[in-house]
Structure 1
């Protein structure tokens, strides 16, 4: 084997090793990110109802998970947890300083502070589970809602409570969060059409000249028109012809 060929093979080997190492770092980063407790909303539109799905991918350093406590932002008042057959669920309430209108003629005097899921049988480290919460999002586009979560295990616990600052590197135990987007529905300021406008948009406009032509060509049932007068004239002619024939018959007899 020539020296030139050996050098080429060595260079190719070093390139492959660097590529493999880089790929390993990428996969390691992806694995670390996916290992967090995360939240996935069904919608992030401000003012809408959403279902938040919190995912717990593993235990605490190999220990099985026994409970997950999810704290609600102060802007959230009411929360409806979804039943999970393997867990008991509890709402922890907080009294409001000022009552809040519930939109149905009543008032909220307290808000949901925490939702706590407690495992009936500890969730093994190698298994994952999810928890769904239904709630209404605040009507503030661009707001960031943070849901700190504390995962307790048979041995130890992991507080997923560190807030991710804008532009900063992700902390070791980031708190789940979502950012509200524009509200759904019609554009703001769009006018509601009146019944008359709605009727005009449904019924096609009629050209006056065409309407007049149609009226002349097709007379209404209440006006005899040209056809009616022609019938009367023909009837009179027929009657006169009958009278003349009768008179002639009498003369000949």
Structure 2
């Protein structure tokens, strides 16, 4: 929280938010969610694509939106991870009969060995998204390096595009909530095929292969009947002794 506060304060004092030793803006620290559905449980992947002007990354501090209460960071073998907690103004139900009295305000990853400028790494955070379709969630991040640091904390003003920012904060936009029990069309088709296989591979009467098989049997029966009639006619036509 202390690192982010320093970087966030810098944004209010200057338009450029790099504190000391700017990072190249050719690639940003980004967030990729497994889902953006409001109210869903999501896995957020935070990516760090480079260092600070050639300097290796030592720490990445990620601030959580105020709507997020609980966060479970994934273990990254090359980093130590710390959850920075903050007291809540009022307790919040946890959905299991208990209460939260504090929330995860920040997740800090500290490199066991500095991440070289030419390499990237990623951190995964498991959390529940708020029930707020259409809302934008920002995850400001401060990237500290052996020399210099960069705060990826800029947010666009009204009417401004995030593409215009030099050091944008990673953000996601919440979409419509997932409908319980709703099955995507492709999954429904797969389920239908699996059900048919479970029934012993039975096919429907509309199956072209079934129609062809039925016609073949009818033709065979008719052919046999014709052969019998022809044989009877031949026997009747023979001269009687």
DSSP 3-state at the match of 2:50: coil
Equivalent pair of 1:49/1:134 in contact (CA under 8 Å): yes
DSSP 3-state at the match of 2:108: strand
- Asked if residue 159 in structure 1 is aligned to residue 151 in structure 2, the reply is yes
- Asked if residue 85 in structure 1 is aligned to residue 77 in structure 2, the reply is yes
Q: Which residue of 2 aligns with 1:222?
A: none
Deviation at residue 168 of structure 1 after TM alignment: 1.6
Q: Which residue of 2 aligns with 1:142?
A: 134
- In structure 2, do the counterparts of structure 1 residues 33 and 155 end up closer, same or farther at CA, with 3 Å as the change threshold? closer
1:136 and 1:109 map into 2 onto residues whose CA distance is 17
1:175 to 169, 176, 181: 169
Q: Which residue of 2 aligns with 1:61?
A: 53
Deviation at residue 153 of structure 1 after TM alignment: 0.2
**1:126-137 to 2 correspondence within 5 Å?**
126-137=118-129
Q: TM-score, normalised by structure 1?
A: 0.60
Size of the aligned set, in residue pairs, is: 157
DSSP 3-state at the match of 1:114: strand
RCO comparison, higher one (Cα < 8 Å, 6+): 2
2:133 and 2:103 map into 1 onto residues whose CA distance is 22
Tell me how large the CA RMSD over aligned residues is: 1.7
Which string of whole-angstrom CA distances, capped at 9 and with x for unpartnered residues, describes residues 22-59 of structure 1? xxxxxxxxxx8761000000000000000000000000
- In structure 2, do the counterparts of structure 1 residues 140 and 61 end up closer, same or farther at CA, with 3 Å as the change threshold? same
- Hey, which bits of structure 1, 4+ residues long, moved more than 4 A? none
DSSP 3-state at the match of 1:43: coil
Equivalent pair of 1:164/1:175 in contact (CA under 8 Å): no
2:104 and 2:63 map into 1 onto residues whose CA distance is 9
Runs of at least 5 residues in structure 1 that lack an aligned partner in the other structure: 1-31, 188-253
2:75 and 2:49 map into 1 onto residues whose CA distance is 19
1:113 and 1:174 map into 2 onto residues whose CA distance is 19
Q: Computing the radius of gyration over CA atoms, which structure comes out larger, 1 or 2?
A: 1
2:27 to 22, 35, 47: 35
